Amino acid sequence: MEMKRTTKVRVLSHGFKKGFSIITNANQHRNKRWVFNVDIRDFFPSINFGRVYGFFVKDRNFQLDPKIATIIAQIACYQNRLPQGSPCSPVVSNLITHILDIKLNKLANDLHCTYTRYADDLTFSTNEKEFPEQIARLVRGNDDKWVAGDGLLYLVYRAGFQLNHEKTRMQRRDSRQDTTGLIVNQKLNVRHEYYKQVRAMCHHLFNHGFAFSDPGKVPVSNHTVEGMLSFIYQIRRIRSQNLVVEKEPERNSFFQTDQAGFTELYRRFLNYRSFYGMIKPTIICEGKTDNIYLLAAIRKLAPKFPKLIDPAQKLPLKVQFFNYSHRSALFQGLSGGGDEMYKLIKDFRERMKFFKHVPTQPVIMIIDNDAASTGIFTYVGTVHGTGPVSGLDPFYHVFENLYIVPVPTTAGVKAVIEDLFDPVVKKPISGRTFNSSNKSFDQTKFYGKNEFATKIVAPERATIDFTKFEPLLQAICDVMDHFAATLAAKSIVLPAPVVVAEAAP
């Protein structure tokens, strides 16, 4: 039997493709002696209706009927060219520019260089002692300047494009080298100025409740700040991904040690966003499945609890749920479970000490009312100087904006949140019965909370009786009223919303 050979082809264009980004583009040019960048002038507008039509008619991978090619060109073009901002423009431009990528890559390979393109940004790099003049050459004079070489100019011109000579840059190893906005000298990194900007934005956010962009002092949203921090994390995490270890905890530990300053900044921001600077009350449960239960109950019981949801609105929920994720585990130490809830309560003030303005929304912790919560009840009693609380009250105000709401009991009998469902809801799945234990069990005989939440509660919420959830939801509403009254008693006037820009600066 003859085996088919497959050849791994290096990707040349990294823009507007799933799985590729400025990160994958820049990574091709790390630790090189020379890095040369140049832009294509008016990239999208250079591709007109005729080029789009001709490509789809003549390219051997398409060879479309002229009528169909005309329709595609009419959809893709506006005023006889590819417009900026259209979702079609990146895809069509990549198709048309592919032949140029192949030719530029051949030129680069012949001269021992690496070539990539991200949209209109062309990058060549090499470890050769001298940079090849066919790609770029140094023009001597009063102000020495690097310009595109004849080989590069010829291929770009033949492809129907022109270079933007004002954006031509040659970067040596002994200076800062960046490609598509990322530093590529040795390891990928963001520019230091970018990190300083984010750090300053966080400082203002933690002290005043909103962040400024710089320059211009334009207020920006928390989403913008989070996006910038997430971008830095995405870049810097590559270092730990390259670490040769098999276990994720070891990679996480390496990241936290290698990036101690950034880890602390990101941790503070996530704590601020989750528990201090929210625009809605935050509900934090013991796990992801509890979120599904409560969300289903709120939606089903919407007419009875207008404080929690307004179905008439585009974004109907008036509360938000804490989302357990890889980042919450890595930076906040929160991946779910009663033990982590207990630790969060004990560490809450320590986590919040960096924030100087007044919190305007409560944090509402929903906990099972069982033996596992004894430590929490004892700690709350210690804070209040009363001894352990019983867990029978609808809610407990711990301190500041932190509250706990125990799952309601029936006749004083301890309860977990799954007890609020009628037994008929916990029906068999493929012959397996429900097991609410957090311990391991035989999955051929039982199914657990995740399957119960995702395969029964979420899809069947319209027919499930959530009556037993009503006291729990009412307790959440009571917490919201209590916190609002606490703010009013302190004569704290909530600040007017700051008009912010959503786009990253």
CATH of the domain at 33: 3.30.70.270
pLDDT, tens digit, for every residue of 129-155? 999 999 999 988 777 889 999 999 999
Q: With bands split at pLDDT 50, 70 and 90, how would you rate the model's confidence at 503? A: very low
Q: How would you classify the pairing of strands 446-447 and 433-434?
A: parallel
Q: With bands split at pLDDT 50, 70 and 90, how would you rate the model's confidence at 11? A: confident
Q: Where are the beta strands (DSSP E) in 461-504?
A: none
Taken in order 90, 95, 99, 102, the sign of the CA dihedral is positive
Same domain, 225 and 331: no
Helix/strand/coil (H, E, C) string of 18-67?
Answer: CCCCHHHHHHCCCCCCEEEEEEECCCCCCCEHHHHHHHHHHCCCCCCCHH
Report yes or no on 267 lying in a domain: no
Contact 427, 456 (CB under 8 A): yes
Report yes or no on 307 lying in a domain: yes
**Three-state DSSP class for 428?**
coil
Q: With bands split at pLDDT 50, 70 and 90, how would you rate the model's confidence at 244? A: very low
- Other C-beta atoms closer than 10 Å to the C-beta of 138 total 13
Structural domain of 194: 190-255
Contact 58, 27 (CB under 8 A): no
pLDDT, tens digit, for every residue of 45-74? 999 999 999 999 999 999 999 999 999 999
User: How far, in Å, are 236, 268, 335, 354, 390 from residue 259 at the CA level?
Assistant: 8, 14, 21, 20, 43
Same domain, 223 and 365: no
Taken in order 330, 331, 336, 338, the sign of the CA dihedral is positive
Same domain, 119 and 142: yes
Residue 493 predicted with pLDDT over 70 = no
Q: With bands split at pLDDT 50, 70 and 90, how would you rate the model's confidence at 236? A: confident
Same domain, 100 and 131: yes
Single residue among 184, 216, 239 that ends a domain in this structure:
184
Share of residues in the chain with pLDDT > 70 (%): 90
Total of domains in the chain: 3
Q: Angle 308-467-307 (CA atoms, 0-180°, nearest 5)?
A: 10
Contact 183, 42 (CB under 8 A): no
Same domain, 310 and 459: yes
- Stretch 313-329: mean pLDDT: 91
- Stretch 68-85: mean pLDDT: 93
Report yes or no on 7 lying in a domain: no
- Stretch 246-250: mean pLDDT: 56
Tokens representing residue 183 in the block = 């530093």
Look at residues 314, 425, 408, 312 and name the one whose alpha carbon lies nearest to residue 369: 408
Count helices and strands in the chain by DSSP H and E runs: 15, 18
Q: With bands split at pLDDT 50, 70 and 90, how would you rate the model's confidence at 5? A: very low
Same domain, 402 and 437: yes
The per-residue pLDDT for 251 is 57
Alpha carbon 440 to chain centroid distance? Answer: 32
136 or 315: which carries more pLDDT confidence? 136
Single residue among 162, 184, 206 that ends a domain in this structure:
184
- Stretch 1-5: mean pLDDT: 39
Q: What is the dihedral of CA 167, 12, 15, 162, to 10 degrees?
A: 40
Which backbone phi and psi does 185 adopt, to 5 degrees?
-55, -60
Same domain, 298 and 358: yes
- Stretch 191-199: mean pLDDT: 91
Q: With bands split at pLDDT 50, 70 and 90, how would you rate the model's confidence at 187? A: confident
128 or 142: which carries more pLDDT confidence? 128
Residue 442 predicted with pLDDT over 50 = yes
Same domain, 220 and 364: no
77 contact partners, CB below 8 Å, separation of at least 6: 48, 49, 52, 83
The per-residue pLDDT for 254 is 62
Residue 456 predicted with pLDDT over 60 = yes
Same domain, 290 and 318: yes
Report yes or no on 115 lying in a domain: yes
Report yes or no on 4 lying in a domain: no
The per-residue pLDDT for 248 is 56
- Stretch 245-267: mean pLDDT: 72
Residue 238 predicted with pLDDT over 80 = no
Report yes or no on 260 lying in a domain: no
Same domain, 282 and 251: no
The per-residue pLDDT for 249 is 58
Contact 282, 364 (CB under 8 A): yes
Report yes or no on 272 lying in a domain: no
Tokens representing residue 72 in the block = 């595609």
Single residue among 129, 157, 184 that ends a domain in this structure:
184
Side-chain-side CA neighbours of 387 within 13 Å: the count stands at 1
Is cis: bond before 215, omega within 30 of 0?
yes
Amino acid at 82: L
Q: What is the overall mean pLDDT for the chain?
A: 88
Same domain, 291 and 312: yes
Report yes or no on 52 lying in a domain: no
Same domain, 311 and 357: yes
Q: Could you tell me the pTM of the whole model?
A: 0.82
